Amino acid sequence: MTLTHPEGTVHGQVGDATVPLRFTDLSTEYGVLRDRAVALDLSGHTLVEISGPAAVDFAQRVLARDVEYLTSERCMMSLVLDDDGRVVDQVLAFGREDGLLLESSVGAGTRLIEHLRAHNDEGVEIVDRSADLTVIGLEGPYAWGVVGRLIDGELASLPFEAVSDTVWNDVEIVFARTGFTGEYGYQMIVPVESAADLWRATLEHVTPSGQEALELAMLEVRQPIPRLETAGDADVIEIGANWLVDVTKDEFVGKEAVLAAFESRQGRRTVGFSGGDVVPEPGARVLAGGEDVGEVVFAVRSVGLGATLGLARVEAGLAAAGLELTVEGAGVTTLTSPYIVPKSWSIPII
């Protein structure tokens, strides 16, 4: 583990990574994330370097978004799909002078690297950089102020998905404006040997938040959480992640399957729901008028709503807001996203 966590931190295994689930308690960490700013230990996100003369061609084929003109000053979120159009991972792709750097979702690095190597027809170099690089995040409506105090105030006002190669304490880092929760968000890719120092410096300005609070806030703005949403045989359309696919690209792995799903207009769709005191397990049946119409994908107790919040995969005609359904005997109501309006949407960077 690269970063030091305080005594009492609760850790858990997520895929191939051991991550901090909670540093204190969910309610406190969630509240600080939504009201002020938090630090995020994103070392469970694997960094994969793709280089070589055909690096861009390879990335253009294995990523579902168009990265042909992704410069070193930009990053972009994209799905990585298998040949059947199923989600392998959701990555953040950074343009680099000699290729690309891909950041996996939490705990998905091993699967991502295996997939990339299996599809490496171009003979590019694929290197797991986890041993020498890690990621620290900042998230919250006042995260921009932390950037100014920690590094440089000008970086806080970077456009969304802009990247800057900069220096902190004589250490070269990659700084990006990103975000998972709808709040202002930033990431710092830092050498492992300097990560502990940067983490400690960050915690002089903000408190840390764990994976539980982060994923709750992600759910509230319908930011995909691949590890919780892609189980089974659900395709991109059923998941509702088609905004992470550029179907106009000439070619990408899984394109034919995605196009077939688009054209069929059949299958299930994912919709948010809230209500009830019990948090149903994944797979719990969803009923409409007593008839089985789908299943729960996952659900949690929302601190912000004070109620159960979850995703259900239902018949396409029922994927609309304001419908009354039943889950495990409790009435729930379908929602339109975002389920919580982020405070950052009304707070300017100054």
pLDDT tens string for the chain (350 positions)? 578 899 999 999 999 999 999 999 999 999 999 999 999 999 999 999 999 999 999 999 999 999 999 999 999 999 999 999 999 999 999 999 999 999 999 999 999 999 999 999 999 999 999 999 999 999 999 999 999 999 999 999 999 999 999 999 999 999 999 999 999 999 999 999 999 999 999 999 999 999 999 999 999 999 999 999 987 778 899 999 999 999 999 999 999 999 998 887 778 999 999 998 899 999 999 999 999 999 999 999 999 999 999 999 999 889 999 999 999 999 999 999 999 999 999 999 98
CB-based burial label for 217 (10 Å; 0-12, 13-18, 19+): buried
Q: Could you report the per-residue pLDDT of 196-249, keeping only the tens digit for each?
A: 999 999 999 999 999 999 999 999 999 999 999 987 778 899 999 999 999 999
Residue 262 is predicted with a pLDDT of 85
53 Cβ neighbours under 8 A, 6+ residues apart: none
Report pTM. Answer: 0.96
- Structural domains of the chain sorted by starting position, each given as residue range(s) with its CATH number in brackets: 10-219 (3.30.1360.120), 222-334 (2.40.30.110)
Residue 235 is predicted with a pLDDT of 87
Residue 147 is predicted with a pLDDT of 98
Burial 286-304 (b: 16+ CB within 10 A, else e): bebeeeebbbbbbbbbbbe
Residue 261 is predicted with a pLDDT of 87
Q: How far apart are CA 109 and CA 15, in angstroms?
A: 9
Residue 276 is predicted with a pLDDT of 84
Residue 70 is predicted with a pLDDT of 96
- What 8-state DSSP symbol labels residue 6? -
Whether residue 338 has a cis bond before it, omega within 30° of 0 = yes
Q: What is the H or E stretch that residue 169 is in?
A: none
Query: Considering only CA atoms, which of 12, 14, 20, 72 is closest in space to residue 46?
Result: 14
Q: H helices of the chain, where?
A: 26-35, 55-62, 109-118, 143-150, 153-156, 192-202, 211-220, 226-229, 236-239, 255-264
Q: How far apart are CA 15 and CA 24, in angstroms?
A: 22
List residues bridging with 327 in a β-sheet. Answer: 286, 330
